[in-house]
Structures are given as C-alpha cells and as structure tokens.
Amino acid sequence: MSPDGPLRVALLVYRGKPHCGGQGIYTRHLSAALADLGHHVEVFSGPPYPELDERVPLHRLPSLDLYRDPDPFRIPHPREFKTTIDALEFALMCTAGFPEPLTFTLRARRALAARRHDFDVVHDNQSLGTGLLGLGLPLLATIHHPITVDRRVELAHAPSLIRNLTLRRWYGFTRMQTRVARRMPRILTVSSSSAADIVADHGVEPDRIRIVPVGVDPERFRPMPDVARVPGRIMTTASADVAMKGLTHLLEALAKLRTERPDVELVVVGKPVAEGPVARTLDRLGLHDAVRFVSGVSDERIVELYAESEVAVVPSLYEGFSLPAIEAMACGVPVIATTGGALPEVVGRDGRSAALVPPGDAGALTSALVDLLGDPGRRTAMGEVGRERAVGRYSWRVTAEATAEQYREVIAMHQQGGAPC
C-alpha cells in the first residue's frame, strides 16, 4: 500500500438489516462510497445480511440467528450446532443475554485469521466484541452512540421489577463494549453529542475520538413533485419497538390530534412487536385504523412515502445522529424532531429546517403537528431549507473521504507501534 494509494478494508457488521436499522444502511452506503473513491472493501456480516453494491464482496458469517422472524428466541435443532461459538451463542441466549456482538467478533476473528495479509485495516461497525482484540491488524470502530444510553432509557421505562432485571441481563454486553472501546486506538462517531456520551459512558479518552457524520444520497432521497401529498399524512421511521424511539409518544399525540382532525393518519416504516409497547398503545388508544406499518420496502418506495406525506416526525428520546431525519429533509419533507441527543445538531436549532420539541412530550408534539399541518406555506419553506441543509452538509462521499483519512492515520499508528489493541 502506498501512502496515498487505494486501501484494502475489512468492514465488519454484526447484523446488517438492509431496509431499516442504521448498521445495514451505514454499511451499504459507506462501502459503496469507499469503492467510488477507488478503495477495495469487503464486508463481513452476520445475519440478517446487508444489501451491498455489486463491487463490494459480502462474506456471510452464519450464526444460529436466534432472533429471526417469525420465531425469535427459537430453540435450534442439535445438528445446527457446528462450533463452540454456536454453543456459546445459545448458552448466552438461554441466560437472557444478548450474544451477537461477542459471537460475531469471534467468528470474524476466525475468518480474518487466514486473510491477515489481504487487508490494510479492519473497521468494526459497533459490535465492540472481545474477538476484535489482538487481531494484529490496524483497527478502528464506529460507535453511532453508546448502547448504554439505550440501556438507561429502557430501564427507566421498565414496567416491573422482573422486566428491569431482565433488561439488565440483556444489556450485559455493554460492559464488554466498554472494555473494548477503551482499548480501541481510534473511535469514529457521528456527532459531538455522541462523542460526549462515549467519553462519559465508555470512558474513552477524547483525543482518540473523531467525528465523521454519516450521509445521504441526494439523487435517491429527493423531492418528487409529481407525487401528490396526502392531506393529514404523517410519516415516521421506527427501526425497533423500544422506548428510546419514542413511537408511543407520537401515538399519544396522534390520538390528541384526531380529536380535531379525524383525517390524520400515520405511516410507520418499521414493524411492531406482537403484544409489545406499541401494540398495547394502539389498542389502548384505538388507533389501528389510523396507523399503517410498512417494512422491507425499497429506498424508492420510502422516497414515495415521504413524497406522499405532509410531515415527517422523529420522536426519539435520544439519537446519536438520525439517518431518517436527514433522509426526510433531503426529500423536501418538513420535519418535527425532538431535542433528544444529537437531533438539534443534525436538523438545525433555528427552526427554519425543522421544528423541535422536548423528548417524551406528547402535548408539545401535538401542538407542533397542529401548527405545521395547518400552515402549507411554512411546510413548503421548511422542506426547501431542510433539503438544502441535508444536501449541503451530509453526503456519503464526504463521509467516505473522512473515514479513509482515519484509516490512514490508524495504519500509520500501527506501523509505528503506537496502536495496540
């Protein structure tokens, strides 16, 4: 490898769900943008696998896939157990733990052992498992935000002592992630808000963190003037049925809003958990006829859904960045977001490109929706400013260029013996 030549990158992602969930989207777009710059990228992924550019090889690292639809927490057949890692994965699930970050990195370690000379750098996408330690290759990791934040929010919303104890065990892997993060020579993150949380929660030294925001494809996520807006249509993305995404608060706001505007409806890109908090809220508020869930759809269909919507909402209690926010803005849709985490940093604080409300405040969200749905001129202006902000500040090419610069720094540190892990 010459100092300025193409790099050979092993990009790791423990689950690369293609159509929702930040890991898969980040992996797909970053790897393609790195390939556009002339670098050679190979992705190592556990299931569900990402969809990648044809130039990017995918190495599937099969697991027991214990949380797959439609049978999460399944009991595998004995013949599915091929290795001690499989046995460890099942044992951790049986004790109510979440094994994938650990077991994926153990499988990735085995896959990379025979190919150490094929790569210049290894880039981990938030698994932070102990299998990464001692690889003998230049290494860095992206932490979109510390999962310890999810843990705090979920524990705060636990409805019972039993649920609280179960969540503590489930999030036990975050202790491993903290230990591994502290040993990483370089951490990439997506916002100054996330950087501060990584320092506070993982104890990572600030001088080992670099901020590299993620991007949006402005040619794909774009306004579609030929598609008619549906009056009263609201759209949101909820990649997981957890308290931190704030969907239940949006449903509360929708119920309040329908007392004044019975025509309003909500489209959710995501899937609720059967008998989970979202399903229970829908039952309690009688909103089944006003809410539609879509999942597994293409980017083009998501863009059409944005074009049909009058407002997009990001109701999260916390976000380390928010791809849905910048994708909605790139589509020219006015956005209402909370002030949770990095959202004001991403969408802008001046109210011109997005409206901001406190996280978890259904009343404030209702008021913001009433104001924006009732003001077509403001919606148009906000959509235009939002697209300008998204396209001007966030692109995958810029993300790839900044990431490649960090690869070179980590490689140089490794060659000088200053980046052990």
Q: Beta strands of 238-277 (E only): which ranges?
A: 265-269
Which of the pair, 296 or 43, is modelled with greater confidence?
43
Q: Is the pLDDT of residue 263 over 70?
A: yes
Asked if residue 320 and residue 207 are part of one domain, the reply reads no
> Both 159 and 67 in a single domain?
yes
d(CA 339, CA 316): 9
Domain count, the chain: 2
Residue 402 to residues 10, 213, 217, 370, Cα–Cα distance (Å): 17, 9, 16, 40
Residue 160 sits in the same domain as residue 238: no
Q: Give the HSE-up count for residue 104: Cα atoms under 13 Å, Cβ half-sphere.
A: 28
Stretch 134-156: mean pLDDT: 94
Between vectors from CA 63 to CA 61 and to CA 64, what angle results, nearest 5°? Answer: 160
Q: What is the pLDDT of residues 333-375, one digit of tens each?
A: 999 999 999 999 999 999 999 999 999 999 999 999 999 999 9
User: pLDDT, tens digit, for every residue of 32-73?
Assistant: 999 999 999 999 999 999 999 999 999 999 999 998 877 888
Interatomic CA distance for residues 76 and 334, integer angstroms? 46
Residue 187: phi, psi to the nearest 5?
-115, 130
What is the reported pLDDT for 115?
92
**Which CATH number covers residue 48?**
3.40.50.2000
The answer as to whether 226 is a domain residue is no
Q: Are residues 246 and 378 in the same domain?
A: yes
Assess whether 199 and 255 both reside in one domain: no
Q: Is residue 127 within 8 Å of 101, Cβ to Cβ?
A: yes
Looking at residue 242, its pLDDT comes to 82
Task: Specify the pLDDT at position 282.
Answer: 93
Regarding whether 84 and 138 lie in a shared domain, the answer is yes
Beta strand extents in 239-392 (DSSP E only): 265-269, 291-294, 311-314, 335-338, 355-357
- The answer, yes or no, to whether residue 18 has pLDDT greater than 70, is no
**In a domain? residue 223:** no
Helix pair 84-94, 100-113: axis angle to 10 deg: 170
84 falls within a domain: yes
Tell me, yes or no, whether 27 lies in a domain: yes
290 in a structural domain:
yes
Please tell me what DSSP assigns to residue 216: B
Taking only the tens place, the pLDDT of each residue in 198-230 is: 999 999 999 999 999 999 999 999 999 999 999
User: Whole-angstrom Cα distance, residue 77 to residue 58?
Assistant: 27
The residue length of the chain stands at 421
Nearest to 266 by CA among 256, 276, 251, 278: 251
pLDDT tens, position by position, 167-178: 999 999 999 999
The answer for residues whose C-beta is within 8 angstroms of residue 165's C-beta and 6 or more apart is none
Residue 152 lies in domain: 8-215+396-415
CA angle 176, 29, 346 (to 5 degrees): 75
As a whole number of angstroms, the distance between CA 354 and CA 337 comes to 7
Tell whether 59 is covered by a domain: yes
Contact 247, 278 (CB under 8 A): yes
Q: Residue 276 — pLDDT band, cuts 50, 70, 90?
A: confident
Residue 324 within a domain: yes
